[in-house]
Structure 1
C-alpha cells in the first residue's frame, strides 16, 4: 500500500485544484439530486458535477464513457458507444444505482442492465450530477449505493443544430436538434441515429433516439415537460453467456413526465407525474436455432408514479415533506407469476405474455434542513412499503461545517434499501434460477470528508464504510454450472476517494498558456463477506483501484486537446470459457484523446479511444474493443438576441 499512499500525498496536497468535476466553471450551482435543492457549496455529501462545457471537450460519445471519468463510478461495457453497460457506485452492483432525468426516476424494475437505455444524446445534457453513498432517505428505494441525475438542456435563445460522425468498423452518427425561446416558453428537441458493423463478429448495433424538453415559466410557477423514445438493436456476442456467440437483443422504451411547481410567500409546492414503458426481446440464437430451443424471451415493463412535496421555510431552516406512489409491472414470457390471462406479444405470431407481476410502492418522507452560521445539517427519514414487504423506516443525517470561505468538512450517516428486480425474483434458464422469496437489500453507510474550493486549485477527500445486509447476488458453488440468486447475510464495503484539479492558466496568470488544466483522481474500495464457499457473479467483481488523469491543453492552430488516462484494477475473477479455469481480472490502462477546433460555426473533432490498443476484459470472457478512431462535426446556429 505504500506506493498508493505516496500517490495520495502527491494527489491531494500539491495538486488540489478547482474541483473540476465538482465545481468547474459553475458559480453557485443548485444541485437537484436532493429532496430539497441545495447550493453545491452547501452540500454535505460527496457529489460530482460535470457541466456541458466540460462534456463537450471530453473524448466521449456516450453517457457510459462520460461516467467512466467519475471517481468511484464503475462502468462495465458490453458494447461501445452506449450499446449496453452496467453502472455501479462505490463497489456496489448495477442494480443499486438510481437513475433520474431532471429529477424524474426512470430506473428499470426488470433489471439494472436496462437502467441506462435512455433516449438522451450527450448534446441534450447540460449537467451530470452523481450523488455517492446511500440515499434512500433522500431519493427513495433504489438509491442504495448512489444516484445519477441528468439535467437536460433548456435553451437561452432559439437555435438549430446538427452533428455527424464517422469512424472505424462502419461507425456513423447523424443527429439534428432545435431550440425555441419565446417569452415565458422554452423548448428543445433532439433526434439522432447511431450505428456500426461491430468491432468483432455479431457486435453490430443500431440506436435511434428522440428527446423533447419544454418549460413554461411565470414569476411564481412553472410547468416542465419531458418525453423521449429509444429503439436499440444489437448483436450480443457473448454478452450474457460465452457459450452462445449468436445472442441478439432488441430494446425499445418511451418515457414522459410532467412537473408543476408553484412558490407562494411561505410554501413551495411541487407535483410531478411520470411514466415509462419498455419492451425487451432477447434471442439466444439470432438466426438459426437448434431443435431444443423453444423461443425467444419477450418482456414488457411499465412504471408510473406521482410525487408531491412541499418545502416550508422556517427561521432556522427548511422543512421538506412529501408523498410518492409508484407502480411497477411486467408482462413476460418468463418473468413473473404464471397467469391464464395471457396477452399477445405485438408483432410476433403465436407468442404470448403468460407471466406477469405488479407491485405498488408507497413512500412518505420528511427532511429538515438547518443552518446556523458556519454549521449546516439536514436529516430526515423515509417511511416505505410495497405489497410484498412490510412498512420500514430508513433515516439519515448529513452535517457540515465551513472553515473559512474555501474549506468545508462534512460527515453523514444514511440507511438505504433496494427491492429485488423482476430478474432477481423470477428469471429461469438452464444455467440461471431466480428466487421469488428474496428479501430487500438494506445498508448503513457512514462517510466523512472535506473539500477546498479555490480559483487556482481545489480538491476533495472522503472515506466511507457501507455495512450491507441481505445483499442480493447471483452465486453458485464451484462444482455447479447453475447460478441462483440469494441474500448475502452481511457484506461490508469500505473505501476512499481523492480528487484534485490544477488550473494552470490561473496559477501562471497567462490566459493563453498552452497548458490549461490537470486533474488527478483516485478511488479505492474493498469488500468482505461472511461466506466464501461459492462464486459470486456480480457483488465481488468491483473496482478495487481507479486512477484517472485528465490533461487539457492547446496545440498550435488553436486545437483544443483533451487527454484521458484511466487505470482500473478490478477485484474478483471469472471462469474462462471453455477451459473452466478461474482467471483473476487483470489491471489495465486506457488512453483516450480528443482533438477539436472551431471553424466558422462548426466544431470539428477527432476521437481516439484506447489509443495504444490495450487488450482487456471488464466482463468475464468478453474482450473489449481495441483502438477505435472516429471523427465528425457539430454545428449550431443561434438566433441573434
Structure 2
C-alpha cells in the first residue's frame, strides 16, 4: 500500500504536465449510457456507473475482458486461470449469480449456472466500451441484475478498417486477434476472430479459447434501422481445482452461440426498439479428464427471447416502457429436462424538477412460471448543485431466481436444493459526483438488505456443499474514486491518466457454529486500485496498475502489473506486459492457485 502511494505521488510531483483542453473528460460526460429505454448522458446519471472505454481496453495489462474488469473499482473478479478462461464477476459484495452480463443490452444469463455468465463471444478488439452499473438494476434490465450489471457495447463503423493483434508469453501462451469493418453503402458490418491457447501455469490448467463475431446494420431511412448479430465462442480447459479440490483432474469444454435481430424506430419524440435473440450454451464437464465414464455432465441450455423497449417525450419528461417474453430450456444428464417461462413489463418516468432537480422512478413487474408475479420498484433523485457537482440518492428492489444447478445438481461434492426460493433485496445508496478540468471523482455509500439469500453451505469437509436460503443478510459499504485524464499536446514526458479508488464492504451475515459458507463471507472487504498512464515522447506509453485486495475471512494480497505500448495508434505497434510483478502467492476463487510473475509481448497492426 505505501509503495503504491509513493509511486503515484512521485509521478505527480516530478512530471511536467502541459494541458491545453481536456477533450477526454468532455467526451466521457457526454457518453450516452446504453440502457434499453431511457438513455441519459453519463453526467446526468443518478447512479454509480463506471465506463471502461477504448483507452482502458487497449492500454490495461490484460488479454481478456475478465482481466480488464479486475481493475474496475467495486468489481470483484475471481479468475480460475489467465486470459479469462473461466471467471466469476461480483459487484458490491454480490456473488457471480447476482451480476447480470449483457451484450448491447441483450441478457447473457444462463439458466444452468452463473459460472457461464462471462462466456461472452466477442473478441476484446471488437469491444467499443463497457458500462458497469453498480447497485440494483432489476428495474432497468430485469431478473438477476441483483447487485449490478455489466453491459458490453460494440459499435458499427461507417469507415473501413482492419486491426490485427498477436502475442506470446510464459506458459506456452499465444494468441491472435482480427477485427475488421467493411461498410458497403448504407450497410455496415463488423467481423472479428480471436484464438488463444496455453500449456497452463500449473498441472492441468491448459486452455484453448476461440471467438467468432459478426455484426451488421442497415439504415433503411433517417428513422428506421435494422441490426443483426451472430457470435460463437469455444473454450476448452483443464479445470484443476476449479469446483472442488478433491479432484485435480477436472476438465471442461463449453460452446456458446448468440444471435439476435433488432429493428429500431427513432423519431423526434418517440423511440422503439424491438428484438429477438437466441442463446445456446453447451457444457461438457468431467471430474476426471481422461475418464469420462467416472463422472460426466452434459448440459445444453437454450434461451429464446422477444423484447420491445421504447420511450416517448412529453411536457412532463420522458416515459419509458418495455415488454419481454423469455423461455429457458435445459437438457442435462444430471439436471434433467427443464423449462420455464418469463414475462416482464417495464414502466418508468424521468421528471425534470426545475433547473437543478430531477427524478427517475419506475417499476419492473415479472411473471415466472415457477414463482408467479413479483414487482420491483425503484427510483433515483438527482440534484445538480453546480456545473461540476451532482448529488444523488436511490432506492431499488432487486431479485434473483435460483439456477438449475442451485435446484437440482447431484454430484460427489455438490448437491442442489429444489426447495429454494428467489432472493430479494432492498437497496439504498447516496452519493456525489464531481467533474472539472480533467478530474472525475465520486463518493458513494450503499446498503443492501437481503431476504432469502441463496448460499452454499456444509457442516464439514466430508459433506457435499448444498445451497440454503438465509433469512436476513446485510451488506453496506463505501466507494470512493478519483480519475484524472488529459490530452497533452507537448512535453516529452507527460502523465496521460491517473486513477485511484478505494472500496470498503461490511457484511452482517454470521456463520453459524459448525456451518461453513462458500461465497458470501468471502466477498470483498477492502479493495484499493491505482494506476498511472505515462506518455514518453509521441509513441511510447507506459501503464502501471496496482491492486490491494482483502476478502472477508481471507489473507490480503498486493499485485503490480505493467504494460508498455509503442506506436499503439499507428499502423504498426508493439507491446509488452508484465503481470504479478511482485510475485505474489494468491488465490481468487476456491483453491485455484493463480500464476506468479509472468510476461507476454506482441504486435498490433492498424489499417484504415
Whether these two folds match at TM > 0.5 is yes
Question: Does residue 600 of structure 2 align to residue 597 of structure 1?
Answer: no
Partner of 2:409: 427
Aligned to 2:594: 624
Q: Which residue of 1 aligns with 2:399?
A: 417
The aligned residue for residue 84 of structure 1 is 86
Distance 2:208 2:369 in 1: 39
Report the alpha carbon displacement of residue 365 of structure 1 after superposing the two structures with TM.
1.3
Aligned partners of 2:178 and 2:461: how far apart in 1?
54
The more displaced of 190-199 and 533-542 is 533-542
Q: Give distance in 2, aligned partners of 1:447 and 1:35.
A: 22
Equivalences for 1:199-278 in 2 at 5 Å? 199-217=201-219, 218-278=221-281
SS at match of 1:424: helix
Structure 2 equivalent of residue 554 of structure 1: 535
Q: How do residues 237-636 of structure 1 correspond to structure 2 at under 5 angstroms? A: 237-288=240-291, 294-335=294-335, 355-372=336-353, 373-478=355-460, 481-503=463-485, 512-529=492-509, 532-533=512-513, 534-555=515-536, 558-572=539-553, 585-598=554-567, 601-636=571-606
- Take 1:82 and 1:479, find their aligned partners in 2: how far apart are those partners? 29
> What TM-score results when the alignment is normalised by the length of structure 2?
0.93
Indicate how the Cα distance of structure 1 residues 495 and 246 shifts in structure 2: closer, same or farther if over 3 A, else same. Answer: same
In 2, distance between residues paired with 1:119 and 1:150?
11
Deviations 1:93-128 (A, max 9, x none): 000011110111111111111100111111111011
| Residue 34 of structure 1, CA deviation | 5.1
What CA distance in whole angstroms lies between the structure 2 residues aligned with 1:513 and 1:594? 17
Question: Match for 2:64 among 44, 62, 65?
Answer: 62
Aligned residues between the structures: 588
What is the DSSP-based 3-state SS (H/G/I as helix, E as strand, rest coil) of the residue aligned with 1:565? strand
Q: How does 1:33-52 map to 2 (within 5 A)?
A: 33=35, 35-52=37-54
Report the Cα distance in structure 1 between the residues aligned to 2:208 and 2:510, rounded to whole angstroms: 44
Match of 1:348 in 2: none
Q: Structure 1 76/531 Cα, relative in aligned 2: closer, same or farther at 3 Å?
A: closer
For residues 453-496 of structure 1, give each alpha carbon's deviation from its aligned partner in whole angstroms, at most 9, with x where no partner exists.
11232211101000001111111124752211111111100001
SS at match of 1:26: helix
What's the counterpart of residue 107 of structure 2? Answer: 105
Report the CA distance shift for 1:544/1:312 in structure 2 as closer, same or farther (over 3 A).
same
Structure 1 residues 479 and 228: alpha-carbon distance in aligned structure 2, compared to 1, 3 A threshold = closer
> How far is the alpha carbon of 1:360 from its aligned partner?
0.3
| Bigger mean CA offset, 121-130 vs 591-600 | 591-600
Distance 1:39 1:557, change over 3 A: closer
Q: Contact 1:97 / 1:145 at 8 angstroms: preserved in 2?
A: yes
DSSP 3-state at the match of 2:128: strand
Q: CA deviation at 1:523?
A: 0.9
Q: CA deviation at 1:316?
A: 2.0
Aligned CA-pair RMSD: 2.2
Answer whether contact 2:129 2:152 (CA < 8 A) is retained. Answer: yes
CA distance in 2, matches of 1:202, 1:168: 16
Moved more, 29-38 or 118-127: 29-38
Structure 2 CA distance, aligned partners of 1:326 and 1:288?
Answer: 37
Structure 1: runs of 5+ lacking an equivalent? 336-354, 573-584
Task: Output the CA distance in 1 between the equivalents of 2:213 and 2:130.
Answer: 17
Deviation of 1:252 (Å)? 0.4
Q: 1:359 deviation in Å?
A: 0.4
Match of 1:32 in 2: 34
Q: Could you tell me how far 1:503 is from its partner in structure 2?
A: 4.1
